[in-house]
Amino acid sequence: MGTPSYDVEETRLFAKWILDIDEGNIGGPNDGVATIDLPDDLLTKDYVDPISKLFDFVYPDILKYYENQHYFQDRAILAPTNEIVDEINNSLLKFFPGDKVEYLSSDTICSSEYINDTLDTTLYSPELLNGLIISGLPNHKLVLKVGVPVMLLRNLYQKEGLCNGTRLQIIPLGTRVVEGKIIFGTNIGHRVLIHRSPLTPSNN
């Protein structure tokens, strides 16, 4: 059974609209700031709890289907900032049964950044380091539950399909390793292990 032609055309028009926004072809001449009218069918009009309304739309009956890997293949929520990503993730976790597991980073200052050996390292307290939100790096605390969908932000092992943007569903949660099942792409169904990885910001 093929995909209905109207779905293909609708997807093509939507993709073109997104590209036109990205290329600045919508909103008239501007210097980087423009006003764009969004179609009504793309708007969440519940101003009391818009995130819950968004979940109802993207993930209907999530408790009924969350154990089915196919349920998440055609569903995802994209967000413009890390703060909104955290808000959405924290809200989504509440829908999943089971206990939360927290994973914390181990933050240290690169030795090359010390001005001299006598620099008081209390200037860089763990609280300060853990509170930093840096583009391209995950936050200090990652909270997961079994069954939640996640997306990789790094190329870990491309031969196994573990690339930036790979979507997985969490299975067991270990102390130092997280196991996931790939739910999108050419390696659907493969179970993989995600271990701790050293990450260094590219911007000094």
Beta-bridge partner residues of 178:
173, 194
pLDDT in tens, 77-129: 888 777 888 888 888 888 888 899 998 887 666 665 545 554 555 666 778 77
Rounded Cα gap, residues 69 and 160, in angstroms: 18
pLDDT of residue 153: 81
pLDDT in tens, 8-24: 888 888 889 888 887 87
b/e code 78-104 from CB counts within 10 Å (16+ = b): eeeeeeeeeebbeebeeebeeeebeee
Query: Rounded to two decimals, what is the model's pTM?
Result: 0.69
Domain boundaries, the chain: 44-195
Q: In what order do the strands lie in the sheet with 167-173?
A: 149-151, 167-173, 177-182, 191-195
Q: What percent of the chain has pLDDT over 90?
A: 8
> With 50 as the cut, is the pLDDT of residue 1 above it?
no
